[in-house]
Amino acid sequence: MRNIVITGASRGIGKATVLALAQPGVAFFLTGRDTKALEQVASEAHAKGARVEILAGDLRETSYLQRLVQRIEAWASSLDAVILNAGVARVQPILETSLEDYDLQMDVNVRAAFYLARHLALKIRSYGLLLFVGSIAGHRVFPHWGVYCATKHALRALATTFRIELKPRKVRVTLISPGAVDTDLWQGIPDPRRETMLMAEDIARWIRYALEEPNRVDVEEVVLTPTER
Ligand SMILES: NC(=O)c1ccc[n+]([C@@H]2O[C@H](COP(=O)([O-])OP(=O)(O)OC[C@H]3O[C@@H](n4cnc5c(N)ncnc54)[C@H](OP(=O)(O)O)[C@@H]3O)[C@@H](O)[C@H]2O)c1
């Protein structure tokens, strides 16, 4: 059985990744806040032969993070992959950005990813995978995306640190950094060119690729940008 943890699995890139990886012999532990949406993803994965466990909750809450780690530890004796995908974006000029929106993005995109990676890395088997979904915003800075960019720059630094420090344990660490992807993350953000964006399935395909490479290959980073943007 291949045991895979995916955060932010209720929609977008997380959901597409579940469906790209679902097959007999795979067991998922999935998170998100929307229980109904998670149950729908679970039933689609189940129909493809995978086993699925879910624990819904808010990644901003320390008590949920602790419960999640405990539940995952009880769920599997070792993990094949931990995919830290959940994320949120708030887009506004930096001078209009509230402390609440700063905290929200930092807590979900960085703090929760740090906490889960720090605890679950110990459970990842040799040659297993710790994968972070970063962003092109971890490489470049875009006006009005300042705090989001700061979170993805921080995540990139953390991913690099985990990669260096987990090398002796033979755990592979991948950072996937997409440009614009047509998902609910863009809800309420004016962008007239949704049709030029990547699709969630494009990212999922590369996550599957990182997972299925031979043990000797450590896919350090993948940057994917839309051809037409
Ligand atoms: N879309 C893009 O253009 C793009 C580009 C580069 C990188 N990314 C990154 O890709 C990742 C996935 O984003 P997406 O585009 O697939 O967005 P999405 O469709 O909005 O999905 C975000 C996921 O994160 C979960 N999530 C958000 N806040 C949460 C919270 N407080 N507690 C628990 N779960 C939470 C959501 O679950 P619930 O809704 O159930 O709470 C959902 O499953 C993010 O890290 C994002 O930064 C996206």
- Determine how many CB atoms are found less than 10 A away from the CB of residue 184: 10
Calculate what percentage of the chain has a pLDDT beyond 70.
100
Residue 191 has pLDDT above 80, yes or no: no
Atom of ligand 1 nearest to the CA of 148: 47
Distance in Å, CA 216 to ligand 1 centroid: 30
pTM assigned to the model: 0.98
Residue 11 has pLDDT above 80, yes or no: yes
pLDDT of 67-104, one tens digit each?
Answer: 999 999 999 999 999 999 999 999 999 999 999 999 99
Cα separation, 96 vs 77, whole angstroms? 46
pLDDT of residue 167: 96
User: Mean pLDDT, to the nearest integer, of 205-218?
Assistant: 96
Mutate to test the pocket of ligand 1, among 5, 7, 10, 13 (most ligand atoms within 8 A of CB): 13
Distance in Å, CA 13 to ligand 1 centroid: 7
Query: Please, what is the end-to-end C-alpha distance for the chain in angstroms?
Result: 40
How does the average pLDDT of the chain come out, rounded?
97
Using an 8 Å Cβ cutoff, are 18 and 40 in contact? no
Residue 14 has pLDDT above 90, yes or no: yes
Token code pair at residue 139: 């490489």
Cα separation, 143 vs 149, whole angstroms? 9
Q: Which domains does the chain have, with CATH numbers?
A: 2-224 (3.40.50.720)
Distance in Å, CA 75 to ligand 1 centroid: 24
Using an 8 Å Cβ cutoff, are 79 and 3 in contact? yes
State the DSSP code for 189. S
Residue whose Cα lies nearest atom 36 of ligand 1: it is 8
Mutate to test the pocket of ligand 1, among 88, 105, 184 (most ligand atoms within 8 A of CB): 88
Residues with CB under 6 A from ligand 1: 8-14, 32-34, 37, 58-60, 85-88, 108, 133, 135, 178, 180-181, 183-185, 200
pLDDT of 109-144, one tens digit each?
Answer: 999 999 999 999 999 999 999 999 999 999 999 999
Cα separation, 172 vs 162, whole angstroms? 9
Using an 8 Å Cβ cutoff, are 120 and 68 in contact? no
Distance in Å, CA 138 to ligand 1 centroid: 15
- Residue written as tokens 């962003």? 135
pLDDT of residue 190: 81
User: Mean pLDDT, to the nearest integer, of 50-58?
Assistant: 98
Distance in Å, CA 168 to ligand 1 centroid: 31
Atom of ligand 1 nearest to the CA of 178: 6
pLDDT of 139-158, one tens digit each?
Answer: 999 999 999 999 999 999 99
pLDDT of residue 27: 98
Distances (CA, A) of 18 to 98, 127, 155: 34, 20, 22
pLDDT of residue 56: 98
Cα separation, 121 vs 227, whole angstroms? 34
User: Mean pLDDT, to the nearest integer, of 6-28?
Assistant: 98
Pick the closest to residue 224 from 186, 174, 188 (CA basis).
174
